[in-house]
Amino acid sequence: MSKLGDLGAKLYRGEVGYDFVGKRKIWYGISILITITAIVGLAVRGLNMGIEFEGGAVFNTPKTSVSVAKAEEVAEEASGHDALVQKLGNDTLRIQIAGVDTGKSDQIKVELAKELDMKADDINADLVGPSWGEQIANKAWQGLAIFMILVVVYLAIAFEWRMAVAALIALIHDITITVGVYALVGFEVTPGTVIGLLTILGYSLYDTVVVFDSLKEQSKDLAKQTRFTYSEVANRSINSTLVRSINTTVVALLPVAGLLFIGGGFLGAGMLNDISLSLFVGLAAGAYSSIFIATPLVADLKETEPAMKALKKRVLAKRRAAAAKGESAEAPVSADESPQDAEPDEDSAPAVVGPRSGPRAQPTRNRGRGRPSGKRR
């Protein structure tokens, strides 16, 4: 067995582990700091909305040796507006200019052909109306709202409402960070970005549900024992699924990283940048939130219940008593023992009050084999 596989087996059996839930205040602080940075970046820099949302003209030139800086300068002089120029993998240029109508588009096309030393007929011009981009944005918001509602309803039915609330907070956390990174980096927001944002919601929820399912299984009949608190069981659930979460996240990030750094960086494919950045940041944030945010939040919400508060008091009292006697304050979970298999709470066992009623049980005697019955001679 490989070292990673051996570590995963030990994490699953509870032989080793890291106290994720116990250090949740640290993770909350880190997440709050990252979220605030994302919100500030969004407020200060704003989103670089693509031509599909603002409306304007898109010019695609044939293969050329003209630099991006030169083409941007020519486009801005010809239009009087800011221009966004991208060099694609086949050495063609994609020039976007917002706020341009049909008449202005034809004039800019002629100026571009003249300054870039190419034929006007070889430049492909497309006009995009702002109403189309507004429709895309509205549909995206509607899809996001419907998705959030369905997620909360499903998790509340399949698990419980506390897990649904924690998962919703984790999803909002992931979306906020992803959008904030877009604002800070300055990447253009296109329909591909919207697709990427909606896609990461499913990936983020996947890791969270895996941990929740393990937590639900391990917390059955938890109040009937006095060895583990709910937070400790939640921490065990994170550790038992940790290697699985890491493996699935790395496998998902590798092809996305290829799109972002190779496809977008070296080949200059603009649309790949739009969708791959949202996927890359969202996948990483989703893996982080499922481990450090969602499950600790469930533990915090769950331990506000009177039953879990009472359980925690009993567990701590038992450990203090064991420590006073010089015994181990906390027995480790064995390889084949889960919290629901731990010893039952003495308070939950039925107590016998008063004398026992009914016929008294008589001790049985074992007669010697072969001895005849009746009177002895």
- pLDDT tens-digit map of 174-201: 999 988 888 888 777 877 788 888 888 8
| The predicted structure's pLDDT at residue 377 | 41
Split at pLDDT 50, 70, 90, the class of 14 is: low
| The predicted structure's pLDDT at residue 164 | 93
What's the pTM?
0.72
Chain centre distance of CA 7: 23
**Locus of tokens 């005849």:** 372
**Locus of tokens 């009914």:** 358
Residue 97 φ then ψ, to 5°? -135, 120
Q: Which CATH class is domain 7-49+132-308?
A: mainly alpha
Residue 367, pLDDT above cutoff 60: no
Pick the CATH number of 56-128 from 1.10.3720.10, 3.90.700.10, 3.30.499.10, 3.30.70.3400: 3.30.70.3400
Residue 209, pLDDT above cutoff 60: yes
Tokens encoding 45: 């820099």
Tokens encoding 271: 């649309």
Least confident of 87-96, 150-159, 209-218: 87-96
Q: Output b/e per residue, 322-355; b: 16+ Cβ within 10 A.
A: eeeeeeeeeeebeeeebbeebeebeeeeeeeeee
Tokens encoding 39: 């919100």
> Strands 83-87 and 93-98, how do they pair?
antiparallel
Residue 290, pLDDT above cutoff 70: yes
Tokens encoding 284: 């990483």
Residue 137, pLDDT above cutoff 50: yes
**Mean pLDDT along residues 278-284:** 86
Residue ranges, CATH 1.20.1640.10, the chain: 7-49+132-308
Kindly state the percentage of the chain with pLDDT values over 70: 77
Q: What is the pLDDT of residues 222-258, one digit of tens each?
A: 888 888 899 999 999 898 888 888 888 888 888 888 8
> What is the rounded CA–CA span in Å between residue 67 and residue 74?
11
Q: Is 39 exposed, middle or buried (0-12, 13-18, 19+ CB in 10 A)?
A: middle
Residue ranges, CATH 3.30.70.3400, the chain: 56-128
Among residues 276, 92, 284, 72, the alpha carbon closest in space to that of 185 is found at: 276
